Amino acid sequence: MSSFALHKYQKTAVDRLLNDGQLGLLWDMGVGKTLTSLSAVDNWPIPLRTLIIAPKRCCTRVWPTEIEKFGFDLDVSLLLGTPKQRLKALDKPADVKVINPEGINWLYETCKKAKDVPFDALLVDESTEFKNATGIRFKALKQLIPHIPVRMILTGTPIPQSYADLWAQIFILDQGKRLGKNITEFRRRYCYRDYWKKWHVNEFACPEIDELISDIVSRIDAADHLDMPDLRFNRVVIELPKKVKEAYDQGLWELQNEDPEIGFDSTGASFTRVRTLCSGFAYVADEINPDAPQETKWLHKEKVDAIGEIHAGIGHKPLLVAFNFRAEREALVEKYKCDFIDGTTSSRQGDNLVDKWCRGELSMLAIHPGAVKYGLNMQSGGNHLAWISLPTSLADWQQTNARLYRQGQKDSVTIHSVIAHDTVDARLINLMESKETTQDAFLRAMKDAVNA
C-alpha cells in the first residue's frame, strides 16, 4: 500500500470506485489521476489483475515509474514490442499489465484464441484515444469490456472536438446504459445530419447528456487544488510575401469551391496547401513521375525567422517549439541546430532529450504534439513554448501546452503563436477557442453536478 496521503477529492473518488466499480476521472493534468486510480486498485478487497491502456510513452515512462515512486507493491509487465515479446509479457505473472492502444486488437485476438480475458480491472489512460466509435481499437476493446468488471477512464480533455467524442468513452464505463447501446442509437437520440451528411450533436441535447453521465464521472479543476502559475498567450503576427499571399488566396478559393465535404478541419489537399503556405513552403509533385514522393519547395521563411525573434526576445532562455509538418522541423533544425522529438524519435532518444531539457541543457527543442502531448513533465526546463504552426486538435493544443503549464512550474508560462496575417491561422486560433469553450462548459457542468 502506498505511503502517500491522498487529498480529500482523491479519497472521494476512490470511495466512489470501490462502491460503484466504474468511474471516469475527467481531471485536469497534474491533479493526481495516476495516484488516485492506483490507490483504488490497491485498496480493493481482493487483489485485482489490472490492465492499463496508455499512450506508448506513458507505458514506458509514466506508469512503471509512478508505481515505484508512490510505493505500491505491484509488479508491472509491459505488453510492448513484437507479438512474441507481448505474448511472453502477457504470460508473465504480474499485478499490472500495461499496453498501448495500438496493441488492443492484438490483445483481443489473443484473449479470443485463449478463450480467457485475464483481467479484473481496466484503466484507460487518455481515453480520448478511443473516442472513435467505428475504429478498430474501440471495437476490439468493446469485446473485452464485458469480461472486466472494474473500469476507469482518465483524461483531462474528454471532448477535444465535440460532445460526440463522449459516447465511446462513456461506453467503456457503462456498456451503453446512459448514452445508447451503440453509436447509431446515440446519433438517433442526440444528433442531426447536415447537408453534407456529417453528424453533429444538437445543442439542446448537451444538458441532458451532462445529467445522464454526471453520476459516473468526476471532475477536478487544477486551479481549485493546485498552486498553478500564470498563463499568458502571445500572438506573433507575420505578413506573407505578396506572391505567396496570391498563391494562398488561390488555394483558399479552391478550398471554398471544391467538394463541400472537405471542411475546415479536414486533411484535404487544398486545406493542407493553405496551411503550408502560411508556414512558408509548398509540396511540389514530380511532373515526369506523378507517383514519386512530393518535394518541399520553400517560398518564405517568415515563421522560421519569427521563432528566432521570439527566442531573442526572451533572452535566449530555453524555448520549446511545436511544429506540425516535417518541413518545419527540418527548417528549425537547419537554422537553429536544435534537437527534436517527433514520430521518428525512439523512446530512448526522446527520454534522453526530455531529461536534457529538464536539466536546462537545451536552448531550443522542437516538438511534435503527437509525440509529447501525453505523459511528459517538462516544466522544470523552461516556461516558454512557441507554435510555429497551429494544430486543428484541441487535445494537441491543450496537452502540449500542459507540458509546461502544470504543477511544479515556478514561473509564468507564455504560449507564443506565430500567425500569418489575414489567413487560416486566425481561424485556427478561433477554432481552438470555440472547442475550448464547449469543453469548458461541459467540464463545469460535471463539476457542478458533483458539488450539488
Ranges of each domain in the chain: 8-224, 231-449
Q: For domain 8-224, give the CATH number.
A: 3.40.50.10810
Strand-pair category, 199-201 with 191-193: antiparallel
Contact (Cβ atoms closer than 8 angstroms) between residue 98 and residue 121: no
Closest CA relative to residue 141, chosen from 132, 130, 128: 130
Q: Which of 101, 75, 97, 96 is nearest to 87 (CA)?
A: 97
Shortest CA distance to 408 belongs to which of 226, 234, 278, 246? 226
Per-residue pLDDT at 287: 55
pLDDT of residue 438: 74
The span from the CA of 276 to the CA of 265, in Å, is 14
Q: Domain 231-449: what homologous superfamily?
A: P-loop containing nucleotide triphosphate hydrolases (3.40.50.300)
Q: Is the pTM of this model over 0.85?
A: no
Q: What is the DSSP string of 247-277?
A: HHHHHHHHHHHS-TTS-TT---HHHHHHHHH
Residue 91, pLDDT score:
95
pLDDT value at position 261?
A: 41
108: CB partners within 8 A, 6+ apart: 140, 141, 143, 144
Q: Do the first three CATH levels of 8-224 and 231-449 match, i.e. the same topology? A: yes
CA distance 416 to 320: 10
Between CA 376 and CA 360 the distance in angstroms is 15
Mean pLDDT by 10 residues, the chain (452 residues): 80 94 91 92 92 92 90 94 96 96 97 96 95 95 97 91 91 97 95 84 91 93 82 93 87 59 49 87 68 80 96 96 96 97 91 94 96 86 96 88 88 95 86 72 67 52
Which grid cell is 170? 462513456
Nine-digit cell at 84?
512474441
pLDDT for the residue 383:
96
Structure-block grid coordinates of residue 282: 509548398
Q: What is the helix (H) or strand (E) element at residue 295, kind and residue range?
A: strand 295-298
Cell numbers 505523459: residue: 375
